[in-house]
Amino acid sequence: MTDQSQFMLSNGLRVITAPMNNLPSATVLVMIGAGSRYENKNKAGLSHFLEHMIFKGTRKRPSAFEISSLVDSVGGQNNAFTSKDHTGYFIKLQKNHLELAFDLLSDTLKNSLFAPEEIERERGTILEEINMYEDTPMYDIDEVFYNLMFDGHPLGWSVAGDKKTVGSIVREDFMKYCDRFYQGSDMVLAVAGGVREEKILKLAEKYFSSFTRGEKEKMVEFKENQAKPRLKIKYKQTDQCHLYLGYPSFSFFDKDKVALAVLGAILGGGMSSRLFIEVRERRGLAYYVKAVSDLHHETGYFAARAGVNIGKAHEAVKVILDEFGKVKKGEVKQEELNKAKEYLKGHVALDLEDSLEVALWYGRKQLLQEETETPQEMFAKIDKVTLEDVNRVAKRVLVKEKVNLAMIGPLKEEEKFLELIS
């Protein structure tokens, strides 16, 4: 498994190097500790819009074509992503072209032009992206659930924003956002693949030491105070009902997060998990069904999500609740626990065969939690999870009064579903 080393530039920017022996390629990833939860309501979607604009031209390379041509000329890949609490930009390429990735990423993150004509073009692209998600209930259900779980808080807003807010964003908004967030003290540079630490240190100093240090802004914390079950149905003519059934959980700093991950694997982590067997295999109620968990600085959630037969949505919700109830009662066997732990470790091991996944592993942990946990350390924590741990975390999280059900489909029986979860 990949070892790593880290150091810090004088401007506070953290650098992580994760060599992967004999790999001919490398990933250079820059992560910034800001995402949609740091936005103002009237500019929701700004973080995501900015991510789209970064590769659209700089003073040195004025057009998107020049930037993409450079990446293509070495057979590389460049992309980016935005989440609730961080944004990432990466280039993956042959290791002998490593300096090009440093040059391009530092240039685009520091010197983007945000040309008005490019803003207008990309605005249209993002509006179509929003349309795509709204037309795809399997994706849109994420937004419905987040809005239900974190109602009134930035965590509940769509990362992409909405058509009105995206339509209001102008060049000055990008400039101010970069000044606020794109700074050394809240950035992590993670490089994984066929790399050497000495070379990465030199390239990091050369291309990233010019970023100002700055200071990380405080976020608006979410205060969980749910006292009764909640339901949100988005009426839409579909051939399948998409749903989330979930509960508030806790921060990614919480020691129970590993036991929660094991619980998730037991309930919905594979084709032999409890939810897959009961909901899909034995009853034919769904095509997909899985357990999902998302943790933030101060809060999180644990849920089951599924795409189910519209006429049997009530039955599907009941089956999911029944499976949650069984694990809460302590019906998990040692053999089942052992299988779930090996499932989790196996998936991590397979993911970390890829340099991008390795860079993301170390980059996210350092940026968000200020820790550099190795896969081996994670595996050791998984191995230590006991049946008592799983039972305790199930009772802690699966609280009847705190259940949330979000659904998309041609459904009108709100009272029927609310009664079911109450």
How far is 142 from 156, CA to CA, in rounded Å?
A: 10
Query: Helix 313-328 crosses helix 257-268 at what angle (to 10 degrees)?
Result: 130
Is 19:195 a contact under the CB 8 Å cutoff? Answer: yes
H-type alpha helices, 274-333: 274-275, 313-328
- Asked about 51 being catalytic, the answer comes back as yes
Residue whose C-alpha is closest to residue 353's, from 31, 18, 16: 18
**DSSP H or E segment with residue 201:** helix 197-208
Is 206:105 a contact under the CB 8 Å cutoff? Answer: no
- In this structure, which amino acid lies at residue 150? F
Q: From the candidates 51, 143, 278, 323, give the one annotated as an active-site residue.
A: 51
Residue whose C-alpha is closest to residue 154's, from 43, 301, 247: 43
- In this structure, which amino acid lies at residue 323? E
Count other C-beta atoms under 10 Å from residue 99's C-beta. Answer: 14
Alpha carbons within 13 angstroms on the beta-carbon side of residue 335 total 1
Active site residues: 51
